[in-house]
Structures are given as C-alpha cells and as structure tokens.
Amino acid sequence: MYDDKELKEYRDLLPTPDHFEEGFDWKTILGAVFIGFLMMPGSMYLQLVIGQGIGPAARWVTIILFAEIAKRAHSELKQQEIFLLYYMAGAALASPFSGLLWSQYLVQSDAARMLGLTEYIPTWVAPGAESMSMIERTFFHRDWLIPILLLVGSQIIQRIDHFGLGYALYRITSDVEKLPFPMAPVAALGTMALAESTEEKKAGWKWRVFSIGSVIGLVFGAVYVLLPVASGLIFTEPIRLIPIPWIELTSYTEGVLPAVATGLQFDLGLVFVGMVLPFWAVIGGLVGLLITIIANPILYAQGILHRWHPGMATVDTVFANNFDFYMSFGIGLGLAIGVIGVWSVVRSFQSAGAGRGSLGDLFNPPPGRGDFNFWISIAIYFFSTLAYVGMCVWLVPSFPWVFFLAYGFIYTPIISYITARMEGIAGQFVSLPLVREASFIAGARFFGYQGIEIWYAPIPIHNYGEATVQFRQIELTGTSIRGIIKAEIIVFPVVMIASLLFSQFIWRLAPIPSASYPYAQELWHLQALNTLLMQTSTLEGNSAFYQALNGVTVFSGLGLGLLAYGILSIFGLPVLLIYGVVRGLGQSTPHGLILEVIGALLGRYYFYKKYGAMWRQYAPVLLAGFSCGMGLTGMFAMGFALIMKSLNYMAY
C-alpha cells in the first residue's frame, strides 16, 4: 500500500512547510459573522431544495470577497488568513439547528406512524405532533427548550473534543510514524490558489484554473438552480430544464431490469468530483454498480427481493431492496472492509521502519506549529467522553451504563487509531458497521432494555481518525494550531445564534418537507423509513428490523468482500479499487455515478495525457472554482426566494 503509484502521486503534491503563522486577526472575526449570517441561510435553503448545500462555494466566496476588500485597502490576505477563513466557513456551515428541522419532521412523519413509533420518540428530541409549536412552526416555544439546551450542550462538548483524541492521533501518526496522508494535499491546494490570487504579482496557474471553474459553475448554476427557483416564484410551476434531483427511469426499465433503480442525475459537479477522486475508486464503484444491475433481476426471480413490484420508483425500490437483502448484505460488506482495514494496519507495522520518528517526537513537535502538550489532548478526550457518558446516563437511565464506558474508552480509541493509520497510508476511512446498533440490540435482549430513546442519546462512539487528515491539512498550509483554536472560540456563538434564527425563519416560510423544498419532499421519507426501521429492534415483539436482518446474507457479504480483496491483491490491482467496488455494491441511489465515471475517464485519458502530472493539481482547483460559481448562483437564488416568500408571508 505504501508503494501504490496513484497514492504516491497524491502524497507528493505538496511539501511540508517550515514556517507557520496563526492567521487570526480582525479579518477572521468579520469572516465568522459574514459566514454565519449571510452564507449559512443559503446553504440550509439549498440543502432542502436540491440536496446539497454551498459548503465549498461559501468558503471560496468568502475568501474572494475578503481578498478584494484587502486589495482596495492596500493590504493582502496571507495564506494562513485564507485557510482560517476556509476552516471557519466549514465549521459554520454545519448548521447544528438544522437537525431540529429533521426532528420535527420525524416525530410527525408517515414513516413513524407506519411503524408505530410516534409515541416512543422522546420529547427531549422533539415535542409531539400535537404541540402548539408544531402547529405554529416555531422553535421559540417552551416545548423546544430541553431539545435546544441539549443541542447547545453537546455542541460545546464537541468543539472541545475536536482537540482531544483526534489531535493526539495526529501527533502519533504524523510526527512519530511519519505516515504520508496522501489525500490531505488535495484539500489544501484550493486555498493556496486563492492565496496566489491576492498577491500583487501576476496571478499564476492556480488562479486561472480557479476562474475557469468559476465561470463554468456560474453558467451551469444559472440553469440548474436559479431558473427553477426564480420561475417558481413567478409562475405556478417552476421551469426545470434539468430535473432535480434526477430523471426517473425505473418505470421504463422495470420490464428488462426488475428491482433495479435506474435514473440519471445531471449535476455537472459530479463530473468534476470524478476528476478529483482517485481513478480506481471511481471505476471500482462502476464495477460494483454493474454487479448490482446484474444481480437484482436474479435475486428478484429467486424470490429474495420479494417486496419489489412493478410501478415502484427509485425511493420505494431502494427501500424495498434494502429491507429484503441489501441491509444485511451491506452489513457483511462493511465488516469485510473493517477486517481489511485492521489487516492492512497490522501489515503496515511490518513494512514501517525506515523514515519513522521516535517517541521523543511526540513531546518535541516542530517549532512554530502551535502545538500544545500531548497530555492535554488526552485529558480533553477523557473529559469529553465522561461528559457524554453522564448525559447518556441522565437521558437513558434504563440502559446499562457499562456500555457507555465501553464505547468511549475501548471501542473509540481502537477504531480511531485504525482509521488514522488507514487515512495516513491510503487515504481511506475505516468503520465497522452496526457496532453501535448491535450493542443497543444486546442491551435490549440481555439486559431487558425496551424503548428507542437510546437511538437519540449522544453516545460516545466516535471515530477520530478522520480528524488527523484535517490537522495535516492545517500543517500543509503553514497555519498555526493556536489560530485554529482562537477561530473555534469566535465562530461557535455566531454559528449557534445564526443557525437557530435561520432554522426558525425557513420553517416559518413553509412546512418542511413540502413542495417548496423538493429534495426534502422526495427523499426524507426514505431516510425516515431506513432510520426508524433500525430503531424497532429495541422494542418488544417481532420488530421490522428482525424481519429485515438475515444472518446468511450478512456472512455472504462478508465472504464476498474478503474474496474480492484477495483476488485484487493476488493480481496486484490498485488498493483503491476494492473500496470502490464495495461502494458500488452497497445498495443506494446510483444515479450520479455515471457522471463521476465520465469525469474520471476524462481526467485520466484526456486531461492527464495533455497536462501530465500537473493535472493532479489542476483538478482540485478546478472543482473548487466550479463550487464557487455554483454557490454564487445558489445564494442569489436563495436570497431572491427568501425575500419574495417573506413578503408573501407578511402580506397574509
């Protein structure tokens, strides 16, 4: 895995800098306010309308705006200041209170009524459907007080927790073990492109490539996002030249491909994503999808996919197939990936040696990087984990508390270290599926727990391995960790206030989901069915979960995953291919994968041949520019829609 050619190309994109700066000043504070009160509502709105926010775009728009202001003030933004704005935008756009919009839907959903779970959802998640707050669509009601306080408390712990075990594992895997983290340079290159544009000298290739992507994003966004939103405010029906979220083809192919969800998503951004993702991971996804297309009609003919019937669209087809086969099969595939990850980590210890640091590097980090004492991060981890345990014991007193301690102090550090090493070696995230769910079921079966409150409690099961990549990105941009800590302190109150206000505002405009929010109206029902199906496993009686779970299918998925990995290893095929195959085999909505494959083929067989190794650096900057252009049109459409709907709301 160390010698994988494609991984080496990603790993060598950026050298480690020898100079670090905090980048925290008044521009950072203004950036936090700008992101929270101007970018966040647009991201929340688009997430409900088209299924994707403006996370990447908001980052680039913020940076460009502040860079232009700095130029006119005869100043400039340093690379570290730009990355800090980029980092804060990512933190701010993860709107915490948008989860309450999902909670209010879940407690009133047809899925909850269908499965008989409405009465079991605790009031500290969301008030009951009969609450006046639901009728008036407002969070500013006493019935929402406890859910909001719990959310704020868990968010505070989460912010502190960010610098706990994840930071400690970064110090171990990066400073001591010297792992390469091949995917970290990809994310860092976009901010460096913007840094280049703010310099007084003539802008280089990064800014030119970013600008090309931005223009493409502006043109496509005008057709894909702006036209439907603007026309929907003027006419009775919106004009959609490109279907959102996809064009439905299942009813046309069901005679030839029974039980196969078919369709095509026309989001041009997927082509750019395919250019950036590792080629063999995308091709592996295509292979997995083709296997699924062949297998589903056979499974249907054998009576395994028996809940599917002609006339079902994508959402119903996916849920029926998940219930009959793919939930159990996916569990087995996930277990195979987990076993492969653990095995890869064990093998990596055998090949590691040359280039490794020493234990002394753990306590003597590079000067100027802004590191704090290693033991402080361990103390933060213990504090945050005990805080989560305390909240769980208070909220779900009937569940065995020993499980909470095992989650936080046994499972979490083990899986986090495995993931940190896999991210450091191959850029892959490792997870063992259904560990959390299996422990809940064990608590119900062997300790007498009955209910579904445990599914909503802040369980201390975390995988901090992914955080190591974020800290590596911070290092590659030459940003001091002390600047990141200061940014977290500033951005938190802004995020919480803005998130609550705009969640309230968007909910008051129209029920969620409804025709005003087409993506939520199309897919939230499927998400609710899948979520609540699992929760029936801790109730008495023959739950829907036990009807869907099949041990033979689980072991078949495990065996197939391990067999596929073995075959790929024997023939020396790229390590990323197996992860792509498993991704394609997992039953989901495959409609966007075709465009990803087109992007991967264009990138490898046209652009890579034309531009050579530099294409690896062009592609992520091009994607960043496209995201920026899409986001600009999305924010304009969102602002127009919110103003018009607010006027209509006020008029009546």
Q: Mind listing the pLDDT tens digit for each residue in 310-320?
A: 888 887 788 78
Task: State the pLDDT at residue 601.
Answer: 93
Question: What's the rounded mean pLDDT across residues 463-483?
Answer: 86
What integer best gives the mean pLDDT of the chain? 79
Which tokens hold the place of 12?
């060598």
Average pLDDT over residues 592-605: 89
Helix ranges (H only) for 536-614 are: 544-548, 551-570, 575-585, 593-602, 608-611
Residue, of 540 and 532, whose pLDDT is higher: 532
Judge contact between 460 and 408, C-beta under 8 A: yes
Residue 409 is predicted with a pLDDT of 92
Quote the pLDDT of residue 508.
84
191 in Cβ contact with 63 (< 8 Å)? yes
pLDDT of the residue at 470: 86
- Say if residues 48 and 520 touch (Cβ distance below 8 Å): yes
| Mean pLDDT, rounded, for 178-204 | 64
| Residue 356 pLDDT > 80 | no
What amino acid is encoded at 108 in this protein? Q
> DSSP letter at 264?
E
Q: How large is the average pLDDT for residues 427-448?
A: 72
CA-CA-CA-CA dihedral for 608, 610, 615, 619, to nearest 10: -90
Cis peptide bond N-terminal to 127, omega within 30: no
On whether the CB atoms of residues 353 and 337 are closer than 8 A, the answer is: no
Q: What is the DSSP letter of 587?
A: -
Three-state secondary structure call for residue 21: strand
Across 541-554, average pLDDT:
68
pLDDT of 507 strictly over 90: no
Residue 236 Cα distances to 49, 231, 515, angstroms: 17, 8, 12
Is pLDDT at 401 greater than 70 in this prediction?
yes
What's the rounded mean pLDDT across residues 47-70? 70
Determine the average pLDDT of the residues in 521-540.
80
Give me the pLDDT at residue 598, please: 92
Kindly state the average pLDDT of the residues 332-344: 72
Please, which pLDDT band fits residue 70 given cuts at 50, 70 and 90? Answer: confident
Structure letter (DSSP) for residue 325 = I
Q: What is the DSSP letter of 536?
A: G
What is the pLDDT, as a whole number, of residue 383? 93
Q: Extract the tokens encoding 221.
A: 């966004």
Examine residue 228 and say whether the peptide bond preceding it is cis (omega within 30 degrees of 0).
no
pLDDT confidence of residue 386: 94
pLDDT for 647 equals 65
CA-wise closest residue to 191 among 92, 81, 83: 83
Does pLDDT of 506 surpass 90? no
**Among 15-24, 121-130, 562-571, the range of highest mean pLDDT:** 121-130
Q: What is the pLDDT of residue 530?
A: 79
Is 237 a residue whose pLDDT tops 80?
no
Choose between 8 and 278: higher pLDDT.
278
Residue 56 has pLDDT above 80, yes or no: no
Of 382-386, 541-545, 561-565, 648-652, give the lowest mean pLDDT range. Answer: 648-652
Task: Kindly indicate the confidence band of residue 652, based on its pLDDT and cuts at 50, 70 and 90.
Answer: very low
Predicted confidence at residue 418, as pLDDT, reads 78
pLDDT at site 391: 92
- The answer to whether residue 1 scores a pLDDT higher than 50 is no
Burial of 339 from C-beta contacts in 10 A (0-12 / 13-18 / 19+) = middle
pLDDT (0 to 100) of residue 592: 77
User: 507 near 139, Cβ under 8 Å?
Assistant: yes
Please name which of 419, 589, 481, 543 lies closest in space to residue 115, comparing C-alpha atoms.
543
Residue 2: the pLDDT is 41
Non-local CB neighbours of 75 within 8 Å, separated by 6+ positions: none
Distance (Å, whole) CA 90 – CA 9: 26
Do the beta carbons of residue 540 and residue 546 sit within 8 Å?
no
Residues 445-448: contacts with CB under 8 Å, at least 24 apart = 447/399, 447/400
Nearest to 436 by CA among 401, 412, 413: 412
Give the model's confidence band at 3: pLDDT under 50 very low, under 70 low, under 90 confident, else very high.
Answer: very low
In this structure, the dihedral spanned by the alpha carbons of residues 305, 309, 315 and 318, taken in order and rounded to 10 degrees, is 10
Better-predicted residue by pLDDT, 515 or 599: 599
pLDDT of residue 512: 86
